[in-house]
Structure 1
Amino acid sequence: MWNVFGAGYLVNNVSKMHGGAQKVVYKIDCSNGFSCVLYVWDLTMNFFQEEIANGDMHQNPYGGDMFELNNKYLTEHDIRTPTLYDLNKERTLYPFDYALVEYIDGHKAEAYFHHSDSRVQDKVFHRLGEMLTSMHTNERHIYGDANQSGMNIESCHHLQIENAKAQLSYASQHIDSMRINQSKLLDTLYELESKIKPRTQYGFIHGELGPDHVLVNDRLEPYLIDTEGAMFFDIEHEHSFLEFRFGDFYRYLKNVTLDPSRMLFYRYHHHIALTSGGLKLLHRGFPDQQFATQLAAYHSQCALRFI
């Protein structure tokens, strides 16, 4: 803090915030009233370190490099996200990347699902819808990271087929109904994929945009957080996720130009991936075991409804 901000920024308090499954998050309060957030990408604290070690994390890139790249891209394109004050990737003192980031004093978007004033809800979700439309209309002809160049060999949804197969295999080892119906679930995956027509136009997406990854400040302005997985991709991947994460409030975020076949395919993929993701959190000691259990149970049921 001293090195980045100066001698007047004396740390008064450090408190652990509720972080995700892939990084540790702390709030730092200074004696002069300033607050910021510390992100720590410590692999030993990551609940998906096995997948990272095996190179299986193309869906959720990990570490300070991706955060820095996407923070810069979003900022340059006027998509609100907390300011990156400093990023340390030297790994000389510690074996991990860490960053100091702007503290947004507010609530997650999910808090506004039950707000008593419908006008406040309208403002928050309308602004979020406008911001996502602006982000998704940043387009190019290749998918992948913001700094990726060259042509893609295959369509982006093929990555999801391979991922779905791997996640279905894991889920089938632990949920009887998934194991019994594994071949039918695979058949459904290929059937949905067969209806997708080629495309070479991709929008910039967050990649895992639930209401818990949107912070709203006291001026009711939404900010996107946990942006390491942002990339150019089919925007249906994002919208199929938004649809079930935002429920009734998805009406503010809808896009009438979406491809229905891609929406169904990605929705199905999400259910399979989240079933496996919930199980892995459960098996690897995630603090909120009830959440992990419910996540796996709910999405396995959703996936099975497709058959």
Structure 2
Amino acid sequence: MQGAKRQFAEPEQVKDLARKALGRDLVHVERLKGGSKKGVYRLEFDRGDSAVLYSWAEDENFWDTESPSSGLRFFEAAQRRLREIGVRVPHLYHADAGREHYPADVALIEDVRTGSLEDRLARDPEGGRRVMDRLAASLRAMAECRSPEHGTVAAVESGQGRRDCVELVLGWALKDLAQAAARVERIGQVEQELGERVRELAAGIEERADYGLIHGELGPDHVLVDDQDEPVLIDIEGTSFFDVEWEHVFLRIRFGPDYEHLRIDGLDERRLTFYRLAQHLSLVAGPLRLLDGDFPDREFMMGIARHHTEQALAFV
């Protein structure tokens, strides 16, 4: 897509969708920032209320390949499973994979406008900690929801789950290492040592009999807070059955000192260490690969890659 002008949602298309799907008249459409795999739009209606539109149009995806865990079916399966176990997610008002009213797969969902957990923690630390306690309860409910196979909720439900998270992550880590080494000179200089460290950490970790439910990219910006101070998980398409350690590595990276409110007992320290290195390599290679294209917020992505370069290099 680099070099070609992307076509985002046209106001008339969205007005037609809102009218036909919800019977509502639209007065304003705002494309929200931050998405790299789907378009996210706030739709404001004539009665003063609003909804959010997710669009999985090709032009909304800034990655060089189609994501294996992004799309309407992944969203619907994750939204349904999370609601079943009592985890708060946005209400789904309308979903359309038939493209009857819009030229892409879309979902119209609840617009939770009371802010993110990231904002709450910065503005009201005490109130934010109360929300964190409720988020911890949601994470426990997810960890207790088990499957004998790993994969996205949609994949497992369709019989396409897999075995052995460690083998999968080892492949990811070595691929990310090669891509990072090709783009970052300092990583390239120690590529062999980092590869040996990756294999050393993976060796001897035994396969498990089942896996818990994880979000996969759960930072404080992916948790909204509703008007009852309940945490609301968003960007849930990648919700998967996987080693819970993978979730907790990411939580620790993104929540920093506040992670202590989410910590649980019984995690495998060896898995945590292996997954931490794998995620640091992913958070170097992924942002830099995204910047091979025309993703707009370039300095933000470069900052992520720089930080995780230092974290990965600390392993050698």
Q: What are the equivalent positions in structure 2 for 1:281-296 lying under 5 Å apart?
A: 281-296=290-305
The answer for the alignment partner of 1:242 in structure 2 is 251
Q: Does 1:146 align with 2:153?
A: yes
- For 1:13 and 1:94, how far apart are their aligned partners in 2? 17
Partner of residue 51, structure 1: 65
Aligned twin of 1:25:
40
Letter in 1 for 2:130: K
Go from structure 1 to structure 2 and tell me whether the alpha carbon gap of 1:151 and 1:34 turns closer, same or farther (over 3 Å shift): closer
* Alpha-carbon distance in structure 2 between the residues aligned to 1:40 and 1:170: 29
Residue of structure 2 aligned with 1:162, choices 165, 171, 177: 171
Partners of 1:19 and 1:102 in 2: how far apart? 18
Asked if 1:88 corresponds to 2:102, the answer is no
Q: Does 2:122 correspond to 1:107?
A: no
TM-score w.r.t. structure 1 length? Answer: 0.92
| CA distance in structure 2 between the aligned counterparts of 1:16 and 1:152, rounded to whole angstroms | 34
Q: Deviations over 1:166-215 (max 9, x none)?
A: 11111111100111111111101001101412211210111111111111
TM-score by length of 2: 0.89
1:2 aligns with 2:6: no
Q: Contact between 1:145 and 1:231, CA under 8 Å: does it hold in 2? A: yes
Check conservation: 2:121, 2:127, Cα contact below 8 A: no
Q: Give unmatched runs, 5+ long, in structure 1.
A: none
- 1: CA distance, partners of 2:290 / 2:138: 31
Aligned residues: 297
Q: How does 1:70-81 map to 2 (within 5 A)?
A: 70-81=78-89
* SS of equivalent residue, structure 1 residue 135: helix
Residues 142-181 of structure 1, C-alpha deviations (whole Å, 9 max, x = no match): 2123252669664112111111111111111110011111
Correspondent of 2:181 among 172, 176, 180: 172
Match of 1:71, as an amino acid?
A: Q
| Distance (Å, rounded) in 2 between the aligned partners of 1:45 and 1:25 | 9
Q: Alignment identity in percent?
A: 35
Q: Please, which moves more after superposition, 279-288 or 243-252?
A: 279-288
Which region of structure 1 is more displaced relative to structure 2, 12-21 or 248-257? 12-21
Q: 122, 132, 137: which one pairs with 2:129?
A: 122
Structure 2: how far apart are the matches of 1:175 and 1:278?
12
Contact 2:149 2:162 in 1 (8 A): no
Q: Secondary structure at the match of 1:107?
A: coil
Answering whether residue 41 of structure 2 is matched by residue 34 of structure 1, we say no
Q: Give, in whole Å, the separation in 1 of the partners of 2:162 and 2:226.
A: 42
Kept in 1, the 8 Å contact 2:251–2:259? The answer is: yes
SS in 1 for 2:186: helix
Alignment partner of 1:131 out of 134, 138, 158:
138
Q: Give distance in 2, aligned partners of 1:138 and 1:104.
A: 26
Deviations along 1:236-290, whole A, 9 cap, x unmatched? 0100110111001101110111110111111111100010111122221221111
Residue 120 of structure 2 aligns to a residue whose secondary structure is helix
| Partner of residue 228, structure 2 | 219
Distance in 2 of aligned mates of 1:238 and 1:217: 23
Does the aligned pair in 1 maintain the 2:78–2:237 contact within 8 Å?
A: yes
